[in-house]
Chains A and B, each alone.
Chain A
Amino acid sequence: MTDRPLKVLIAKPGLDGHDRGAKVLARGLRDEGFEVVYTGLRQTPEMVATAALQEDVDVVGLSILSGAHLTLLPRICELLRAEDMGDVLVTAGGIIPADDVPALKEAGVAEVFGPGTPIGEIAAFMREHAQPRS
C-alpha cells in the first residue's frame, strides 16, 4: 500500500476546445508513474467533481484557456469540499494571468502552473503536496 501510484484527474472545465496542453500533461504524468484519469473537453464543474469523487483521486489538475477560471475553478473547489473531498490537491494550468492567482489560491487552488512549466516540476509538486491516504 505504501507504493500505490498517485491518481490524478486531468480535466478541462468550460468551453474552450484546446486540449493539447492537457494531453501533454496527462502523457507526461503517465511517464512519471501516475495513474491519470483523463476526461476530455468541455466539462462542467459538476462533472469534474463527480469524476474526482468516483475515482477517489489524490489530485485534480485543471487545464483552462478560456478566461473563465475565476468562475469555474472556485466552483469546482466548492463542490469538492461539499463532497468531503477538501483534502484533494487542486492544481491549475493554462492561460491564467498572474493577477488572478491569489484569488484562485484563496478559493482552494494549491498552485497554478503556466505554459512552459516542466512536467517534472508539476509531478514533484503533486508528490510533495498530495495528502497521504489509505
Chain B
Amino acid sequence: MVALARKTLVYEWRRFLPAILAVGFAGLLQLLQAALVLGIFGSASVYITGSSADLWAGYPGTQSVNLGRSIDSGVEMRLRMDPAVSAVEPFHWVDADWRGPSDTGGVSVFVSGINARPDGLLFAHALSPALRARLNEPDAVIVDRADLDSLGVGIGDTAVINGHRVRVVGVSNGLRALGGVNVVASLATAAELDTDPSNANRMTYFVAKLRDPSDADDVAARLRGNRAFGPYDVWTAESFARRSQMYWMFDTGAGAGVLFLAGVVFLVGAVITSQTLVAAVIGSVREYATLNALGVGVGALRKVVMEQAFWVGAIGLLGSTVLGGLALALARSRSVPVALSLWTTLACLGLCMGLAIVSGLAAMRSLRRADPATLLR
C-alpha cells in the first residue's frame, strides 16, 4: 500500500505546517491553562491535601475550607468516642491582618493554628518535623517562601498579626493561598492571635485519623447529624478538598472563564486546521479525481484525508506535549502553582485530537469537488 497521506504530509510539509501549529498551540494552551487552573485552585485545598487527616468536622454547609465557622469544642469528644478514629486534632483558622517590618501596608493573612507535634496530622505532608518543632517557640510562625516579598519579611524577622507580635522561624514550600497569605502557627499562638471573643471554647475544625482510611465514607456518615454538640458536619478529606476547589473554580467565575477560553481555543484551532486541510485537499483535487476515475472509491479517498488529519493532530500534540512539559518544569522552578494529572493531560490532548478529526471531517466535504467528469474538458 502506498502511504499517500504520510508521503504527501512529509513532501508538502509547508502546506500542512499551519494546521500542525494550530493543533500544537491549541494543545499547549489547553494543557497550560488546565495546569494553572488546577494548580491555583488546588491550593484552595492545600490545608486538606497537605494533611494526613481522613475526616474533617466543621460547621454545616461550609463551602470551602477557608470559609469555616467555629464549632463547639465538644465535637472533639464525639469524634474520639468512635472506635474507628485513631487520632483527633483541632485546626484553628484565624483571618488576620499582618503588618510587616517593611512598608507593605496591611496584608490579609490566614493563620492556621496546628498541632506542632512531629506526628501531627495537619500539614503532615507540607511541613517537615524539624520545621514543625520550631513552631513550639512562643509567637513563632512559618510563612511560604513565595510570600516572603509580599509580607516584607525574612527568616528571623518579627511582624505584627492582629496587634500581636510574631516571629518568622521558617519558610515552607507549596503553601501559597488563594486571596491571601498563609501563616502557620501552633495552636497556642493561633489562640493568642484570635481576637474574636465569641470563639472562646470553640474551634474551626476538628480533623480525625482513622484506623482504616477506606472506612472514611461510613465513619463520616455515622458521625454527622448528632446535634448534642451544636451544629457540625463531618466530611471525608477527599470530598471536602473537592468541594473547596469547586467553590473557587465556579463560584468565583474562574471555571466558567476557563471553559469559555477552552471553547475559544478549540474553535480558533479548528478553523485554522480545517482551512489548512481543505486547502490541501483542494490543492490535490485533480489527483484525487483521477484516482476516482481509475475506480478508487470516494470512501478510500476520505480515508486519506482523515489519515492526514490524524497525523497533523499527532504531530501537533507531540509538539505541545514537549513544549508543555518544558513550560511546566519552568513554572515549577519559579514556584508558579501548576498541577496536571494524567487524566487531565489525556483530556486536553484528546480534545485537540478531536479538533484535528473535526477539521478532517470538514476537509472531507471538499472531496466532493473531486468529480472525475470535471477533468474532461
Do A and B interact with each other, yes or no? no
